[in-house]
Structure 1
């Protein structure tokens, strides 16, 4: 799945209030559904797994995934939910919300099933998520529902933007849940990132960063890479090259002076590092 090409289509966005008693029999969906438990308790069966949904819990139902929902207790259950496609298709407006089992589908209905593109994203989003960041996700879900119901001019564009924010928060939430050690050390990692960003005029060493963070060198490298997608030295080099690129384009300073200003001892090492990061020589931006 190419995240850059995401173009979500929201089929249904509603805030449901469920009285007693209530039971949604087993079914499969053509699309995805996100169900948020705002109030009350529910029992959700996904394939062969049974979960108890409490306020603040989120459920993800995937295309063709067997599931059923049962209300628990005598109080009111409130469960705002969204049905969506990750990618808009020509038949997206025609696809309905299913309440059927797979074996009861017609031949035409079988053509409506979406691909489970979320399966390609690691770590895999589970069917039941006990959220840490409930306020942000809840706000985004209700903002989408409001836009969907009001249908103001260009509401489709706003809904897509809100949903992409929601998906981003959900993916990060899942990532942090799977990597709790990163959450524990995020303060130290952010301190290192800011230090690297604001010290581009010289080289830094791993020993220096390890001493600053109070974390052993090799574990610090691993934590930084898991947090920001690259090692601290790679991140620092990228910041130095970005600053150099800016100076080349918007000042008349000689390349040698720019190299020295960004911590390179000579023009050769500067050009080599620049080409490694950007794919072209520094003079390319001066010509532009």
Structure 2
């Protein structure tokens, strides 16, 4: 799944109040469903797993997954939910919400079943998510429902953006839950990130970063890479090159002076690093600036 190409289509966005006695029998969906427990308790069975959902819990039902839902207790149950495709398709507007078992579907209905693209995520999103911060997810879900119901001009753009934000929050929380050691060191990592962004005029060493954070430099490299997707030295080089690009485009300073101001000993090492990061020589941006 290419996350950068996500183009969701929200099929249903509804705030549901469950009657006193209610049981959604086993079915298989064509699309994804996010079901949030706002009030009361429900029992959700997905494949061979059974969970009791309580306020603040979220359930992710995937395409083709056998599942059923049952109300528990006598108290009111409120479960806002969303049905959506991760990627808009030509038939997205024709596909309905399924209430059938897989074996009861027609050949045409079977073609509506979406691929489970979220299964490619690592770590994967669980079917039952006990949220650490349910208020953020709850707010987004109700904002999506409100937009979906009101259908103001260009509401599709707004709800799709909010769904992407919601999915990002879930994916990020799943990542932190799978890497608790990163959560405990997130303050130190952010401190280093800011330090690297503020010192683009020179090289920064691992020994220096280790002293600032109080973390051994070898463990520091691992933590930083897992948090930001690259080593601290790679991140710092990227920041220095970005600063250089800004100076090349918006000042008339010679390239040699810009190289020195970004911590490079000579124009040759500057050009090599620039081309490695950006794919072009520094002069490319000076020429482009001159053409404008």
Name the SS for the 1:87 alignment partner. coil
CA positional deviation for 1:133: 2.1
CA positional deviation for 1:285: 0.9
Inter-partner Cα distance in structure 2 for 1:250 and 1:8: 38
Q: Which residue of 2 aligns with 1:45?
A: 45
The answer on whether the counterparts of 1:240 and 1:262 sit within 8 Å (CA) in structure 2 is yes
The answer on whether the counterparts of 1:46 and 1:68 sit within 8 Å (CA) in structure 2 is yes
Q: Which runs of 4+ in 1 moved over 6 A?
A: none
Q: Which residue of 1 aligns with 2:200?
A: 200
1:167-195, Cα deviation, whole Å (9 max, x unpaired):
11111111111111111110110000000
The answer on whether the counterparts of 1:133 and 1:173 sit within 8 Å (CA) in structure 2 is no
The answer on whether the counterparts of 1:19 and 1:75 sit within 8 Å (CA) in structure 2 is no
Inter-partner Cα distance in structure 1 for 2:55 and 2:182: 26
1:70-97, Cα deviation, whole Å (9 max, x unpaired):
1111101111000000111111111111
CA positional deviation for 1:269: 1.0
Name the SS for the 2:25 alignment partner. strand
Inter-partner Cα distance in structure 1 for 2:229 and 2:162: 25
Inter-partner Cα distance in structure 1 for 2:9 and 2:270: 47
Residue-pair matches, total: 288
CA positional deviation for 1:4: 2.1
1:234-266, Cα deviation, whole Å (9 max, x unpaired):
000000000001101110001111011111111
1:137-180, Cα deviation, whole Å (9 max, x unpaired):
11110000000001111111111111111111111111111111
**Structure 1, gaps ≥5 residues long:** none
Name the SS for the 1:147 alignment partner. helix
**Structure 2, gaps ≥5 residues long:** none
Q: Which residue of 1 aligns with 2:146?
A: 146
Aligned-CA RMSD value: 0.9
Inter-partner Cα distance in structure 2 for 1:12 and 1:222: 42
Please say if 1:80 is aligned against 2:101.
Answer: no
What TM-score does the superposition give when structure 2 sets the normalisation length?
A: 0.97
Please say if 1:99 is aligned against 2:99.
Answer: yes
CA positional deviation for 1:209: 0.6
CA positional deviation for 1:19: 2.5
Q: Which residue of 1 aligns with 2:112?
A: 112
What TM-score does the superposition give when structure 1 sets the normalisation length?
A: 0.98
Please say if 1:276 is aligned against 2:279.
Answer: no
Inter-partner Cα distance in structure 1 for 2:255 and 2:90: 52
